[in-house]
Amino acid sequence: MKTRALGMTIVSVVMLAGVLAFRWADREGRFNLETVYVTGLEGADTTAVARALQHTFGRPLHQISVDSITAQIMLIPGVRDVDVSLIWPGSMHLMLDLEEAAVILDTPSGRVPVSLECRELPEQWLSENLPVIRFTGEPDPLVLASAVAFTHGFRRELEGSVIMLDSTGVRVLENEVQVILGMDGLEERWLSWGLVRPLTEGGLQVDLRFRGQAVFRRSS
């Protein structure tokens, strides 16, 4: 019994010493945040990231809310996910996962990069390597989503072509042939276009909106 009591006393003393040492170090600012490491920043808004973190510098790590920082970083356009880690005694690591641009929308007000989920991205995501969809007005969100998915999925096959979106749906201008794909079933209709492509020549309009048919018209 005496041995057990002695052991408990030693454990209690060690725990008390640990608590006192922690409080002393805390009062001395030994656990204050001094350094933040950010990876995956790339084209994200560095000013917005810095603004979200500025209030954390100089604060003790145990008083910093990881959930609050995560929520603020997630509000920055182009950020898909973020992992926030506190590194004792005085550092933080942010690992950002950014959105990827799928296509560029060529609108009356300018060019806008969007993700595959049609989320608008900052202009830093603009690239000459991305396919472009031209349109005027306000397209139906569902039709726009289909157009983005189609254009991104067939970006190699569509290279050099002009993709347009209007009230009839998606149109593709390829070698002076206008291919009307409509509003749905775009992938299947584009594959059908591959079958009739050898029969076409410049100046034609090929309407593939009719199931199992390709209607040829002279472009006006």
Q: Give the residue-averaged pLDDT of 110-134.
A: 93
- The confidence band for 200, taking pLDDT boundaries of 50, 70 and 90, is confident
Mean pLDDT of the chain: 84
The model's pTM is 0.75
Alpha helices by DSSP H, listed for 28-161, are 46-53, 66-74, 141-153
pLDDT greater than 70 at residue 115: yes
What pLDDT, on a 0 to 100 scale, did the predictor assign at position 96? 94
Tell me whether strands 91-98 and 101-107 are parallel, antiparallel or unpaired: unpaired
Q: Each residue of 152-172: pLDDT tens digit?
A: 999 999 999 999 999 889 999
Domain 31-98, CATH 3.10.20.310 — does that match?
A: yes
Domain(s) labelled CATH 3.40.50 in the chain stretch across 101-218
Provide the pLDDT for residue 16.
Answer: 32
Instruction: Say if residues 152 and 103 touch (Cβ distance below 8 Å).
Output: yes
Tens of pLDDT, residue by residue over 89-110, are 888 999 999 999 999 999 888 9
Q: What is the pLDDT of residue 46?
A: 87
Confidence bin at 30 (pLDDT 50/70/90): low
Poorest-pLDDT segment among 103-107, 118-122, 156-160, 197-201: 197-201
What class is the 101-218 domain? alpha beta
55: its two tokens: 């209030």
Domain with CATH 3.10.20.310 in the chain: 31-98
